């Protein structure tokens, strides 16, 4: 099981780092499918995001690809609201959490699949601080509540806002470790962390995300990556959503 989770963590981090998204969005449904309780899987996913995307962000900073001004408002609000989301998750029934997770996967998948590409000359270059703060707050709340890091909501909303996809990728990869870490600390404080599983996933994820970021910088085809991410997210939504729907119907 440890080798299997390590391998899945590496592959997921490699693929999702191409879009600057924390791979916990896919790792958590996989862990749940393998029989890991979601209360254990969520802090594993948050720790995994923290470590894996920290490596990706270091690579982006070294190559001077990161827009710090665009990232800062999202970091501040997501860090704060992730704590609230993690605490609130203890009060929400498991089936509701899983249903929200499925909705999140569907939203992210369809956004990556159907969002229309803008022409390069109309990407906005300003930083709308209030909107960025609101996006970070929503992402942080979902990050703590679902254990996903929030990258899957940040990227689609920044696309709608009109930012350049390459800029979005680096901002998201930089923001997610902060929101993930604050959510993880909250879960740790309430004693919900499986350290062995977390370390295995995180080390594998760090290797995968680092290699994925290097590949992105040299060989990235944005359209292809978006389609791959969309298909993976939608397939996992169907896989995870069917038993959830059955439980509500029954």
* CB half-sphere exposure, 182, CA atoms < 13 A: 26
Asked if the model's pLDDT at residue 215 lies above 80, the reply is no
Write down the H helix ranges in 65-164: 68-89, 94-114, 129-146, 151-161
CA distance 56 to 61: 9
Average pLDDT, the chain: 81
**What does the block give as tokens for 136?**
């970070």
Residue 63 or 183, more confident: 183
Asked if the model's pLDDT at residue 178 lies above 90, the reply is no
Which DSSP helix (H) or strand (E) runs through 60?
A: helix 38-62
Give the model's pLDDT for residue 199. 93
Rounded to an integer, the average pLDDT of 234-239 is 77
Q: Considering the chain, what percentage of its residues have pLDDT values greater than 90? A: 12
User: Could you report how far apart the first and last alpha carbons of the chain are, in Å?
Assistant: 32
At 105-152, the pLDDT tens digits run 788 788 777 766 656 557 777 788 999 999 999 888 888 888 777 777
Of 225, 244, 248, 237, which Cα lies nearest the Cα of 107?
A: 237
Give the model's pLDDT for residue 66. 75
At 56-99, the pLDDT tens digits run 677 777 777 677 888 899 999 998 998 998 888 888 887 787 78
Of 229, 168, 179, 191, which Cα lies nearest the Cα of 47?
A: 179
């Amino acid at each position: 099981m440890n080798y299997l989770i390590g391998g899945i963590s590496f592959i997921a981090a490699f693929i999702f780092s191409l879009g600057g998204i924390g791979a916990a969005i896919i790792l958590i449904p996989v862990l749940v499918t393998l029989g890991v309780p979601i209360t254990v899987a969520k802090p594993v996913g948050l720790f995994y995001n923290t470590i894996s995307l920290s490596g990706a962000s270091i690579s982006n900073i070294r190559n001077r690809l990161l827009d710090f001004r665009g990232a800062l408002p999202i970091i501040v609000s997501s860090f704060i609201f992730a704590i609230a989301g993690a605490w609130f998750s203890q009060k929400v029934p498991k089936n509701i959490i899983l249903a929200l997770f499925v909705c999140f996967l569907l939203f992210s998948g369809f956004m990556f699949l159907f969002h229309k590409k803008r022409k390069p000359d109309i990407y906005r270059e300003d930083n709308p601080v209030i909107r960025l703060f609101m996006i970070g707050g929503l992402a942080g709340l979902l990050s703590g509540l679902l254990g996903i890091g929030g990258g899957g909501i940040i990227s689609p909303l920044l696309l709608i806002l009109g930012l350049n996809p390459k800029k979005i990728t680096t901002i998201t990869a930089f923001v997610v470790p902060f929101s993930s870490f604050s959510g993880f600390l909250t879960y740790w404080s309430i004693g919900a962390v499986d350290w062995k599983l977390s370390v295995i996933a995180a080390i594998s994820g760090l290797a995968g995300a680092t290699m994925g970021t290097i590949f992105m910088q040299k060989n990235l085809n944005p359209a292809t990556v978006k389609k791959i991410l969309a298909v993976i997210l939608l397939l996992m939504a169907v896989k995870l959503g069917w038993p959830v729907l059955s439980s509500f119907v029954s």
